[in-house]
Amino acid sequence: MPRIYFKTADQYVEFAEGEEVNVLRMAIREDIDVPWQCASGNCGTDRLVVEEGAENLDPPRRRERARLGELVDEGYRLACQTYTRGDVTFSWDPDQVGLDDEPGDGGGSRTGWAGTG
């Protein structure tokens, strides 16, 4: 089974062979603390460094390219905009905020928004 390894949280999610899955959706489903806010490519809170498996990801579309700019060339992807069809490893700064927010100004993430309890 292919797996997404969320290295910073040291957790992984497996999915069925032949499927393409949204990275942020899988993190939310498994309550993995990937920071995020808007889920629509606006804020950049969920930028992740692709450490391995970039070849399994779909190419960035307009919104993601516009939001990340040159960070795309540095190996970043937005979890909410990215689909994978195979093994991939991501890391991130657990304290990161949106690209337009200052650390500590309340623009933080929504991790753990609604646990299934």
Binding site for ligand FES (CB under 6 A): 36-39, 41-46, 78, 80
User: How many other CB atoms are found less than 10 A from the CB of residue 69?
Assistant: 12
CA distances from 51 to 3, 64, 100 (A): 14, 18, 24
d(CA 61, CA 50): 16
**Is 105 a binder of another protein (CB under 8 A)?**
no
Nearer to ligand FES, 17 or 113 (CB): 113
Considering CB distances under 5 to 8 angstroms, the limit depending on partner class, which of another protein, ligand FES, none binds residue 117?
another protein
**Is 50 a binder of another protein (CB under 8 A)?**
no
- Give the residue, chosen from 39, 48, 68, 97, that forms a contact with another protein under the rule CB under 8 A: 39
Nearer to ligand FES, 72 or 117 (CB): 72
Q: Which helix (H) or strand (E) holds 27?
A: helix 23-29
What the block records as the tokens of 81 is 């905009």
* DSSP structural state of residue 76: E
**Is 24 a binder of another protein (CB under 8 A)?**
yes
Which residues make up the interface to another protein (CB under 8 A)? 20, 22, 24-25, 28-29, 36, 38-42, 61-63, 80-81, 113-117
